[in-house]
Amino acid sequence: MLPDVVATNGFSLDRLATLCAVVESGSISIAAGPSTSRQSQFSRQIKELELAVGAKLFERNGKSLKPTAFGLQLARMSRTFFSAVADLASQETEKPGQVQVGGGEGMLRWVMVPCIGALRDLDPPIHCKVRNLRSADIIRELELGGIDVGLVRKSAITENLMWERVGTFEFTLVVPRRLLRTRSGDEVFVGRPLPYAELSGEGQLATAAREISKRAGIRLNRVVQAETLSLLLASVEHEDAAAFLPIPAIAGLPEDRFAQVDLENIENLSREMVLAWLPDAADQKPNIKRATRILARRLQQTMADFSRGIDRPGI
């Protein structure tokens, strides 16, 4: 079947690239940009590609386009092909290879970024492009071929992906000592409400943190909402608010200024993290296999160190 399709008029690399762009953006106008002539070109190319393959690539809903199962698969295969060609070309020209890595901001900053230097030490080296993404977007981009490797919680994994466990991302409640009733923190929850910095939205972390606080009898006074864990850390560092923070984030906090408070059920905030990738992409792009092999080992060691308490402040 494939040779017949390739020989069909209308099937071209340019049209496949347009397909990938429209699938990723969700509409022709976003993929093509403000130019009306380019939008018309993209629309025409999608129609020509549908005629060439003899199947619908999108379900149209107003200006939005949702890829059909066939369209999604074709876009995924095309992305993988383009990436594999670039990978091969870099090997031939002895240029560094590249992999795109996606993950949540906190995991990228405190866990992934310290590990990716190992990829530059390979021969030939691999350079990383790092993207801050939510869990659902990590899975989507993996399946579309938008990223090569994802660092994501295990519960988000789909059956299309391969994965390797790297460890547990643990959290703790950190309180500036000047906000405590007693310096030891024994009476942190007695008296006035605790100024509190919270992660924006109604995600699993924010919801679970509120429930743990309620059960512990904590009266929270939310004074800050932040979109990222780094911004939560900044609020704590300024000693304006307490926050639930990842264990890797608190390594640099001085013990004499900040207290780590143990709470019952704090483990409910923990996330089992995995390194995930698409098998078909890894088969066609050797750098994915090289990168995942090195990264998995480094990430496992880093997460194990944090779990054992290495680099934690003694608070």
Q: By the 8 A CB rule, do 161 and 278 touch?
A: yes
Phi, psi angles (nearest 5°) of residue 19:
-55, -45
Domains and CATH numbers, the chain: 2-67 (1.10.10.10), 75-169+271-308 (3.40.190.10), 171-269 (3.40.190.10)
Q: Which of 99, 72, 73, 101 is nearest to 86 (CA)?
A: 99
Residues 6 or more apart in contact with residue 140 via CB below 8 angstroms:
146
Q: By the 8 A CB rule, do 170 and 303 touch?
A: no
| CA–CA dist 2, 177 (Å, integer) | 67
Q: Which of 239, 225, 252 is nearest to 313 (CA)?
A: 252
| CA–CA dist 288, 130 (Å, integer) | 14
Low-confidence residues in the chain, pLDDT < 50: 1-7, 185-186, 310-315
Q: By the 8 A CB rule, do 260 and 315 touch?
A: yes
| CA–CA dist 234, 212 (Å, integer) | 22
| CA–CA dist 196, 186 (Å, integer) | 18
- Note the pLDDT of residue 162: 95
| CA–CA dist 77, 72 (Å, integer) | 9
Condensed to tens digits (0 to 9), the pLDDT of residues 85-117 reads 766 666 555 566 889 999 999 999 999 999 999
Q: How wide is the angle at C-alpha 297 spanned by C-alphas 129 and 88, nearest 5°?
A: 45
**Partners of residue 258 on adjacent β-strands:** 176
HSE value, Cβ hemisphere, 13 Å, CA-based, for 30: 12
- Note the pLDDT of residue 272: 95
Q: What is the H or E stretch that residue 41 is in?
A: helix 36-53
- Cβ atoms < 10 Å from Cβ of 283: 12
- Note the pLDDT of residue 269: 92
- Note the pLDDT of residue 88: 66
- Note the pLDDT of residue 3: 41
- Note the pLDDT of residue 108: 95
- Note the pLDDT of residue 95: 63
| CA–CA dist 291, 115 (Å, integer) | 11
- Note the pLDDT of residue 281: 84
